Structure 1
């Protein structure tokens, strides 16, 4: 049924209304949790459209700030967002960072590690790039139920076609939980590891604000949506319209949960 579902993102203009606008909220909570002093050297691995990088620039007074991503489309979007800052943005692979050992005080990653083919290698690279007594920290969406906007989409899709259940984000959902995140940081030699949930509100002004981003075609849920016939897509849209918790003013109030983990380099 779906031969070309593409779980990777590459277009910042499509990503922002779908999940990017919520990632900015998580970034702020994440940095408040890290509570880093000013004047540090930061590396953002998988910076995407630049939400976390921008938050670091605004909140943390970094001495140096570097963001890397494998997608040139995302980097182009991030360059526009970070214009006027001193952030360096480079195209690079999270699994093979182009930096010396012990080059950064803080090595962070937001909403990307579950998309990396070899996440163990990427985590090891993040630890390698961190200085002694530095910190490695990351966060990922909770795809097992905490990312309500996606879970409700798949519930509605499955009501209409049980096959849709097989197409959920389960290929990376198992990783996006506290125990796997803790083990990952432990396996790359970090100490004083902590994991916590970050919950943020996801407010949609009306149904179209919720539905339209699913027409972008990137990532599993939008790809599934756009693989349907026009009639099937209309049925899914109306199923969602009937099942989403819509308030009298037409707004839809959901929540999104991310799991964050941090550890110190010995």
Structure 2
């Protein structure tokens, strides 16, 4: 099942989101819990933020990572120096592992880009043993991503063609309150808990904030890359004005909230 996330380059993704997912990864790991000797699967590893943070725990026995994008897989493989980590291209909705293979399945900032996200949750549950844990986090695009919403809300004031794109961005799968929890329960997981995790996205300047979008990364980047020159110039100027907010260009910090959910695979019978 292909991801709906637009990938131009691994380096571009790192500037757009990878640096922030590394801040979120330890919080999701703490929420999911770990035990010495665990076999863990990272579903949708991207450039490796979660997998390499997991590898900081010496007691883990295995970290298997998959991603749908060959661009991300190649970048993560190139970075990997830990023999416990294996990285391969695979579909989150059809994981290439047998039943009960892992102690925990964790997915960081992936399920909202999977069109049939419930299938991915079911697959995570399938490959985790009875008593093991399934955990995931997705951004709260509608209510918790102030820096990214600022971009979209600025763009739609200039171009009504961006309205359906903003709606799609704000209400991707698993993003509404309780949606991920309900999906976990519907896939037979027990003791399901949902919470929110907060980080801050700290930018050095407008260019630091806007450059990966201007280069075509992610959903908004794909839209911007398709604009005709005059409209593109207007969008660039309007988003800069929103970022600066009447002050000189320089550092800005945006609160960013993710929904997180975990559940336990029930014992048979």
Stretch deviating more after TM superposition (59-68 or 41-50): 59-68
Q: Which moved more, 1:249-258 or 1:126-135?
A: 249-258
- Shift, 1:85, TM fit: 4.4
When the two structures are superposed, what TM-score results if normalisation uses the length of structure 2? 0.91
Partner Cα distance (2:261, 2:144) in 1: 16
Aligned CA distance change for structure 1 residues 8 and 250 (closer, same or farther; 3 Å): closer
Q: Give the corresponding residue for 2:12.
A: 14
Task: Give the 3-state SS of the residue equivalent to 2:19 in structure 1.
Answer: helix
1:19-57 Cα offsets, whole Å, 9 max, x none, are: 111111111111122231222000011111110011111
State the partner residue of 1:144.
Answer: 142
Query: Match of 1:212?
Result: 211
Cα deviation 1:151-170 (Å, max 9, x = unaligned): 11111101212331211262
Counterparts of 1:1-266 in structure 2, within 5 Å, are 7-9=5-7, 11-59=9-57, 61-168=59-166, 170=168, 172-173=171-172, 175-244=174-243, 250-266=250-266
CA contact (8 A) 2:117 2:173 kept: no
Task: Extract structure 1 runs of 4+ deviating beyond 6 A.
Answer: none
Any idea what the Cα deviations from partners look like across 1:50-97, whole Å, max 9, x if unmatched?
A: 100111111363111100111111011111232244201111111111
* Other structure's SS at 1:140 match: strand
Shift of 1:186: 0.2
1:133-177 residue CA offsets vs partner (Å, 9 max, x unmatched): 100000111111312222111111012123312112626535313
Contact 1:141 / 1:147 at 8 angstroms: preserved in 2? yes
Residues 42 and 66 in structure 1, CA contact (< 8 A), matched pair in contact too: yes
Per the alignment, residue 3 of structure 1 pairs with: none
> What's the Cα RMSD here?
1.8
Shift of 1:100: 1.0
SS of the counterpart of 2:36? coil
Flag structure 1 segments of 5+ consecutive residues without an equivalent: 1-5
Maintained 8 Å contact 1:142/1:173:
no
Give the CA deviation at 1:205. Answer: 0.2
Query: Any stretches of 5+ residues in structure 2 without a counterpart?
Result: none
- Deviation track 1:172-216 (CA, whole Å, cap 9, x = no partner) reads 535313311011100111111111111111011011101111122
Contact 2:32 2:134 in 1 (8 A): no
Shift of 1:244: 1.9
| CA contact 1:99–1:129 (8 Å) conserved in 2 | yes
Matched residues, number: 261
Q: Secondary structure at the match of 1:58?
A: coil
